[in-house]
């Protein structure tokens, strides 16, 4: 009978990624985008708006609000951001102060994914088969190599690129799930550390706005511990059950229970969800499927069952919420763990196909970014600069030596990485994920260096607020009854306006009204109000903000 373990790994293949290179990968992924920008539309500035409102005393810490509109129940990440704004805002400014703890959370996700995979790979069922005449991988070296592959898989995931660099509750949820995954993964080798991790993770997840996911993960952990067939699992069962109960209680105390189930109203929405499931977790999901096939006789073992259960919970949440990318993001750490166990079983032709796709795709993306940057700085070629000027009215390019140097170093590192991978380096298990992870890190670095001024101009509300400020002095009371919450946050923080988003225009005490209107066919005037001006975000060609003043006021 064939062995249920498909892993055959030599000692040479179990090389770990050099620690300096691993650190540089993580730094190149986490740090860019933290500095030198405003909060971006939509979820980023909305969450920031709640945080700064609490820190500045415009709303209660137990009832965060924007323009009087209450927040969702994600209290823990709002408290975290508000505390950093309160303490470090005077030194660094509110946007950067709020962004720092969330950058640390992203780094924590990478760290916990590595350690989760490392502990799972050290279990007996996950270890590769011994060779008849020796030469097989050392157990610890093998676990480190597999963990390096999982970390690279997280960095390479396309869906985490933007959402992982925002200041939103979902990043706190991602860190909580990663902590829970680590707690379950390490319960076979440690006692109190995993129990504390599990006890903290699920209540933190519930307090970050995902109580139903927390309870579902608690059920998954209970099943794994009870049916895993190990003494360690049953010994940790009380901690898992206790954490689930604490999560439910925390959600009840914070008023976090609420169902966000969305139905699929059309085939287009179903198709959009399918597309999301294809590109968002790429390239982890094909490797994860390969893992399930090659390790199909060990689906109940911890190294497969634990990450698979976490993936299924997040996938169910994504589908139930009408194809939510933020719910699907919660599956990425566990999906990366699953993907890493495909690495010992990949054929050389498959690895080569992944490499060449990554080289072509990311090199073309990087070259395109450089061409647009050179066009903006020199005017040659003329077409890219003309396209930017047409799409971003009023944008003036700027030059930064620091950004140019960092982008150049990142590009040279990519060239070196491609040369290294296309050389005679065929042994390390993690080799197939080096180029996808490096390409994602390169493109993110170029976006947040060469393109950062342009992106900030396009995605920030500041250009709109500057145009509004020319028509309306600060400290005005503005009725924003139908405005999106991101714009309310921008009006309050960037514009200094007092926004009433709760009352209708007729019931509001404010003498200024703002509402969104189609750019092609503006809405008819409102009875009792006089149109003052219309302002438009440079990148929003379809809608504009109309400013009205109540009749009889000045």
* 479 beta partners: 500, 513
Looking at residue 523, its pLDDT comes to 79
Half-sphere exposure of 371 (CA within 13 A, CB side): 12
Round to whole Å and give the CA distance between 50 and 289: 40
What contacts 289, CB < 8 A, 6 or more positions away?
none
Flag whether pLDDT at 474 surpasses 90: no
Q: Are residues 212 and 91 in the same domain?
A: yes
Give the C-alpha distances (Å, rounded to integers) separating 221 from 108, 195, 218, 549. 21, 12, 5, 58
What is the enclosing helix (H) or strand (E) of 513? Answer: strand 512-518
Asked which of 459, 487, 514 is the last residue of a domain, the reply is 459
Q: Are residues 104 and 224 in the same domain?
A: yes
1 band by pLDDT with thresholds 50, 70 and 90:
very low
Q: Is residue 300 part of a domain?
A: no
Sign of CA dihedral 372, 378, 381, 383: positive
Residue 355 phi/psi, 5-degree rounding, is -60, -50
The 10s digit of each residue's pLDDT in 486-499 is 999 999 999 999 99
Residue 473 phi/psi, 5-degree rounding, is -65, 160
Tokens of 502: 């709760």
Asked which of 459, 476, 503 is the last residue of a domain, the reply is 459
Sign of CA dihedral 139, 140, 141, 146: positive
Tokens of 3: 């062995």
User: pTM of the prediction?
Assistant: 0.95
Q: Is residue 527 part of a domain?
A: yes
Q: Are residues 105 and 209 in the same domain?
A: yes
Q: Residue 523: which CATH number?
A: 3.40.190
Q: Are residues 87 and 210 in the same domain?
A: yes
The 10s digit of each residue's pLDDT in 434-470 is 999 999 999 999 999 999 999 999 999 999 999 999 9
Q: Are residues 504 and 391 in the same domain?
A: no
The 10s digit of each residue's pLDDT in 209-268 is 999 999 999 999 999 988 765 676 678 899 999 999 999 999 988 887 776 777 777 888
Structural domain including 210 reads 29-128+155-264
Q: Are residues 418 and 493 in the same domain?
A: no
Q: Is residue 333 part of a domain?
A: no
The 10s digit of each residue's pLDDT in 311-366 is 999 999 999 999 999 999 999 999 999 999 999 988 888 888 888 899 999 999 99
Q: Are residues 124 and 191 in the same domain?
A: yes
Q: Is residue 270 part of a domain?
A: no
Round to whole Å and give the CA distance between 475 and 12: 67
The 10s digit of each residue's pLDDT in 95-116 is 999 999 999 999 999 999 999 9
Q: Are residues 383 and 500 in the same domain?
A: no
Q: Is residue 133 part of a domain?
A: no
Q: Are residues 115 and 206 in the same domain?
A: yes
**Taking Cα atoms as reference points, which of 338, 31, 56, 362 lies closest to residue 164?**
31
Q: Are residues 255 and 162 in the same domain?
A: yes
3-class secondary-structure state, position 297? helix
Q: Is residue 329 part of a domain?
A: no
Flag whether pLDDT at 28 surpasses 90: yes
Q: Are residues 380 and 516 in the same domain?
A: no
Give the C-alpha distances (Å, rounded to integers) separating 452 from 136, 282, 460, 483. 48, 25, 11, 27
Q: Are residues 542 and 423 in the same domain?
A: no
The mean pLDDT of 414-429, rounded to a whole number, is 82
Q: Count of domains in the chain?
A: 3
Flag whether pLDDT at 135 surpasses 50: yes
Q: Is residue 482 part of a domain?
A: yes
Per-residue DSSP letter, 280: T
Asked which of 206, 238, 264 is the last residue of a domain, the reply is 264
**Taking Cα atoms as reference points, which of 315, 300, 326, 335 lies closest to residue 4?**
300
Q: Is residue 321 part of a domain?
A: no
């Amino acid at each position: 009978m064939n062995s249920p373990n498909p892993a055959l790994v030599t000692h040479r293949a179990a090389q770990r990624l050099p620690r300096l290179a691993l650190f540089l990968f993580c730094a190149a992924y986490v740090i860019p985008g933290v500095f030198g920008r405003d909060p971006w539309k939509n979820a980023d500035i909305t969450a920031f708006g709640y945080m700064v409102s609490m820190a500045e005393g415009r709303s209660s810490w137990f009832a965060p609000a924007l323009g009087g509109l209450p927040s969702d129940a994600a209290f823990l990440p709002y408290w975290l951001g508000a505390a950093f704004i309160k303490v470090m805002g005077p030194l660094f400014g509110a946007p950067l102060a709020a962004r720092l703890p969330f950058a640390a959370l992203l780094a924590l996700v990478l760290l916990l994914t590595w350690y989760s995979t490392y502990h799972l790979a050290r279990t007996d069922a996950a270890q590769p088969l011994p060779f008849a005449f020796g030469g097989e991988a050392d157990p610890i070296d093998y676990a480190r190599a597999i963990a390096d592959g999982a970390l690279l898989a997280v960095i390479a995931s396309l869906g985490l690129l933007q959402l992982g660099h925002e200041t939103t509750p979902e990043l706190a949820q991602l860190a909580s799930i990663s902590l829970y995954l680590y707690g379950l993964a390490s319960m076979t080798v440690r006692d109190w550390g995993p129990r504390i991790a599990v006890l903290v993770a699920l209540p933190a997840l519930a307090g970050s706005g995902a109580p139903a996911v927390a309870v579902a993960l608690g059920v998954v952990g209970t099943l794994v511990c009870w049916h895993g067939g190990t003494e360690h699992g049953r010994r940790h069962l009380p901690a898992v059950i206790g954490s689930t109960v604490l999560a439910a209680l925390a959600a009840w105390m914070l008023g976090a229970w609420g169902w966000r189930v969305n139905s699929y109203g059309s085939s287009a929405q179903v198709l959009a969800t399918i597309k999301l499931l294809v590109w968002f977790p790429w390239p982890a999901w094909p490797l994860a499927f390969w893992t399930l096939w090659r390790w199909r006789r060990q689906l109940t073992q911890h190294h497969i069952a634990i990450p698979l259960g976490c993936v299924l919970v997040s996938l169910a949440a994504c589908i139930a919420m009408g194809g939510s990318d933020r719910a699907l993001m919660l599956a990425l750490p566990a999906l990366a763990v699953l993907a890493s166990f495909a690495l010992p079983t990949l054929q050389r032709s498959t690895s080569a196909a992944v490499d060449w796709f990554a080289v072509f795709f990311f090199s073309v993306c990087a070259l395109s970014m450089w061409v647009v940057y050179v066009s903006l700085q020199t005017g040659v070629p003329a077409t890219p600069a003309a396209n930017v000027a047409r799409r971003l009215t009023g944008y003036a390019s700027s030059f930064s030596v620091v950004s140019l140097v960092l982008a150049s170093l990142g590009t040279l590192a990519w060239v070196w990485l491609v040369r290294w991978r296309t050389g005679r380096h065929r042994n390390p298990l993690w080799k197939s994920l080096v180029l996808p992870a490096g390409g994602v890190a390169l493109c993110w670095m170029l976006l947040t260096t060469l393109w950062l001024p342009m992106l900030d101009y396009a995605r920030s509300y500041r250009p709109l607020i500057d145009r509004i400020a020319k028509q309306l002095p600060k400290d005005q009371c503005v009725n924003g009854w139908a405005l999106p919450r991101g714009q309310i946050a921008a009006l309050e923080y960037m514009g200094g306006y007092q926004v009433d988003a709760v009352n209708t225009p007729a019931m509001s005490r404010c003498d200024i009204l703002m509402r969104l209107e189609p750019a092609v066919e503006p809405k008819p005037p409102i009875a009792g109000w006089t149109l003052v001006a219309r302002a438009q975000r440079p990148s929003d060609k379809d809608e504009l903000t109309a400013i009205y003043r109540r009749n009889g006021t000045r």
